[in-house]
A and B are shown apart, each in its own frame.
Chain A
Amino acid sequence: MKNHVLRPLWIVLAAIAVFMVVRHFIVPADFGVEEGGNFTYNYHRLSANDDWKNFKVKYRGREYCQECHEENVESILQSPHAIIQCENCHGPAIDHPDNPEALAIDTSRGQCLRCHTYLPYPTSQRSEIPGFEDPEDHNPDENCVDCHNPHNPDLENM
């Protein structure tokens, strides 16, 4: 009976041992630090990198659109809207035409007013873009694209 004082200690040690075994099975095998990394900033499940690499790309860029819609791309490249990417209005391509089959085109006034509301900011290029001081003055119930061709927005060509 002389060693009864140490009994709580044995229990604690046993608990730690059980925990370490459980831990071994639960923690992902690739949890650690990459070569050249350090514990402070690089301690993680190494395959988490792959999770993010495999994330689905949605915006494919103008070059992808051009593969099929050469004419439309050509037309907008001739216009002042050449700087705008197709997908900004036509929506992200993802795997179009497989998924989605057709894209939902943003034809709202809001889409045009993002740039074409005049804002009087002297040190910003925003004030140099042609725009309305109050868009409500100009056919407020109609979409801009009903009259203006976004691929050829020049007012003389209307």
Chain B
Amino acid sequence: MSVEQVVAQGAEHIAVHGMDWTTKELFTYPNEFIYWSIQIVMYPYMTGLVAGAFVLSSLYHVFGQKDLKTIARFSLVFSLALLPVAMMPLLLHLQQPLRNMNVMLTPHFTSAIAAFGIVFSTYAAIVLTEIWFVYRVFFVDQVNALKGKEGTRDRFMYYLYLVLTLGAFDTGDAAVAKDKKAVTIMAGIGIPVACFLHGYAGFIFGSVKANALWMSPLIPVIFIMSAIVSGIALCMLTYIIIMEWKKWSAIIAKGKGDETVQLIAGAELDVITKTSRYLLGFMVAAITLELLDLIFRGYTAMKSWDILRSVMYGKDFVNIFVLQYGLGNLVPFLMLLIPGTTIRRVFFATILVLFGVFMMRWNVVIGGQAFSLSFAGYMHYHLPIIPHNLETYKEGLFGALTVIATPFVLFWIINKVTPSLEYKFNNE
């Protein structure tokens, strides 16, 4: 392209990445824009949910927390549904999405992002392996049940399960015992990998020395803690919704006084009460670390503190202290702490927790770009609502909603193959 062509194209044809949603105040460098927008908020949020869901399932498989048995299998399958979604925000964010494989092809390991491909694949393999061991007997049962059946759907399912067994049809006691042991081992390996997967997502931010807000060794740990919090909350929320739906189907089918309805309601409350204890524990850890980070910054008051303070206590005050700490942490914390847990209260508390963790990601990612590297100006992010081109769709409200909706669609599909809510296992 010659000079004249480029010059002649003019501003109206040329979209500078970031200009659509950034406004500037006072002095900022000319090239500064909000380059990391909503999808980079979604990215640690979604990886956090994956990691959190997996850790929840592992608490049962590894540490034998029997009270989590029912939710463990569900959260394991749900973490598989969440897995591809952790990658989606990155693909939507890349300026050259078709080159995404370069991260695997020529990983430059001094970059925190380079680890993504490898850690993510390792983690995916672990989750898939664990699910295979949990469901192997089920697959074999299905193959036997569907053998010789006519009908396209049955034939398809037969062959699908046949492939999924990987040719391992032994359901004898010795083989099943091996499966069980393998599940424990995979879950055991999975916990550090899940934490690493998310810890390095925190490292991506924490290691950016140019950014005064991100640069902190606490960020990776804070990210892991809040990841587990959000993962547990999401599993609880989804579990409540599914169980309520089952309860209401039972009520419609059999009437309110039926025994099954009582059974479902009782089991649901039991699981939720027990799980919320773990949620509270991890919340305490997450909030403690976040407050430590905040106090430390104020006390040491480095060069960047003047502008950080003006962002935290001024421009982003509502986002940080009202929405994140107040509505997203304190309120649900109290709601879960008050004795006499009810499903409805936990339902709203988990929604608030999820919102709080989302706001934390927002305040880190967007807040970290709210001030200029010159410390002499500010940038404001305006989330594109109505998309007017591909860029404002991808990095706008609807792009984020696409990312949020996908795991539920995936779970619906995966759950058809590996039912995580109904099937009674004899090998657990």
Q: What residues of chain A have their CB less than 8 Å away from a CB belonging to chain B?
A: 1, 4-5, 7-8, 11-12, 19, 23, 26-27, 31, 39-40, 43, 58, 92, 94, 100
Complex partner residue of A27 from B106, B167, B169, CB under 8 angstroms: B106
Contact B170 A4 (CB under 8 A): yes
A26 to B103, CA, bound (A): 13
Contact B110 A40 (CB under 8 A): yes
Task: Say yes or no for B4: interface residue by CB 8 A criterion.
Answer: yes
A-B contact pairs, 21 of them (CB 8 A): A1-B168, A4-B136, A4-B170, A4-B175, A5-B178, A5-B179, A7-B168, A8-B125, A8-B128, A12-B125, A12-B129, A23-B104, A26-B101, A26-B105, A27-B106, A39-B109, A39-B110, A43-B106, A58-B3, A92-B3, A100-B4
8 Å CB interface, B166-210 against A = 166-170, 175, 178-179, 182
Q: What residues of chain B have their CB less than 8 Å away from a CB belonging to chain A?
A: 2-4, 101, 104-106, 108-110, 125, 128-129, 132, 136, 166-170, 175, 178-179, 182
Chain A residues lying within 8 Å of B175, measured Cβ to Cβ, are 1, 4
A1 to B168, CA, bound (A): 7
Shortest distance from the beta carbon of A27 to any chain B beta carbon, whole Å: 5
Contact A11 B166 (CB under 8 A): yes
Chain A residues lying within 8 Å of B3, measured Cβ to Cβ, are 58, 92, 94
User: Given A58-B3, A92-B3, A8–B106 Cβ distance below 8 Å?
Assistant: no
Contact B105 A4 (CB under 8 A): no
Shortest distance from the beta carbon of A75 to any chain B beta carbon, whole Å: 27
**Shortest 8 CB-CB contacts between residues of A and residues of B:** A4-B168, A1-B170, A8-B129, A7-B166, A40-B110, A27-B105, A12-B125, A5-B178
Shortest distance from the beta carbon of A89 to any chain B beta carbon, whole Å: 16
Chain A residues lying within 8 Å of B132, measured Cβ to Cβ, are 8
Chain B residues lying within 8 Å of A12, measured Cβ to Cβ, are 125, 129
Chain A residues lying within 8 Å of B2, measured Cβ to Cβ, are 94
